[in-house]
Amino acid sequence: MPVFVSKFGGTSLSCADGFKNVFDIVRNNPDRRFIVLSAPGKRFNADTKITDLLIRCEETGRRADFTSIQQRFSDIAKEVGVSIENELDEAEENIFSGAGKACAASRGEYLSAKIFSKMSGFAFLDAKNAVFFHNGKIDEEKTKAALNAAFQVQKRIVMPGFYGADEHGKICLFPRGGSDTTGALAAFCIDADAYENWTDVDGVFRSDPALCPGQKPIDRLSYDETGRILDAGAAVLHPDCLYWARKKGTPIIVRNTFRPHLPGTRIGP
Ligand code: ADP
Ligand code: ASP
Ligand code: MG
């Protein structure tokens, strides 16, 4: 049976309707068996991403700054019909007990995946037990072994993007936007048939569709062509995705969570 690793970005998960929408997409194709989630992003232009709120919270050390984070997650959880209160208490404790900036910043992805696991029944896999760093780089063999071991036991998994841990169990982050990389890395490690990257635009365009409207998304791209578009500043995918996709020739499919009937852009060798 084919396996898709499907990653949903913060733009797809900014509110409860986003989570419900993502669940519909996942349910629509049983091949979507390994889900990677980002932290909730902006609901509107002037909004702040959860990751930025978490970083600020850790920097100021003010418990009051955690209130807006708590409120956003509680509202999402309530609307999708699950409880996240214990996990929120645990995250608050992590942030204010000196676990560090990386740990604080990672809690958005952690809580997103917890909510999705509860609403979908997909098994929660903590990235700190499955994505391993050594001296700032991915430990490929260890990550491969952990992801495959987990996937052998649980046939449907949801894992937070953006972070992993070093050999001492300390949380390590990918660069910002790095849930894309987690998805491509997972697809490589479990030998997935495709890596779906679900976002808020119809695919990859020649230039940012938010700045240059009226373009059509590109149907197919090679890794090299995509690399050139990303090098020119397109923030639609993290460029490190291409490294993991190239290694086995995994197709990357960029699709719009809000227009899932569209085919998106297919990127391959
Ligand atoms: P996600 O939250 O799904 O990770 P991002 O905000 O990181 O989403 O990336 C999607 C955004 O990338 C789109 O909203 C779009 O405005 C922007 N973008 C910039 N350049 C491009 C491009 N060439 N093609 C598609 N999207 C682009
Ligand atoms: N939440 C992280 C960020 O804002 C990672 C990601 O969204 O991919 O950078
Ligand atoms: Mg992104």
Q: Is 207 in the pocket of ligand 1 (CB under 6 A)?
A: yes
CB contact at 8 A, 109 and 179: yes
Chain position carrying tokens 């990303």: 230
Quote the CA–CA distance of 256 and 223 in Å, as a whole number. Answer: 20
pLDDT in tens, 30-53: 999 999 999 999 999 999 999 999
pLDDT in tens, 142-169: 999 999 999 999 999 999 999 999 999 9
CA of 129 to the centre of ligand 1 (A): 29
- The preferred substitution site among 36, 174, 176 for testing ligand 2, maximizing ligand atoms within 8 Å of CB, is 176
Q: Which atom of ligand 2 is nearest to the CA of 182?
A: 8
pLDDT in tens, 179-199: 999 999 999 999 999 999 999
Comparing CA positions, the residue from 191, 117, 190, 195 lying closest to residue 149 is 190
Q: Dump strand ranges (E) for the chain.
A: 4-8, 32-37, 123-124, 133-134, 137-138, 157-160, 163-165, 171-173, 194-199, 220-222, 252-256, 265-268
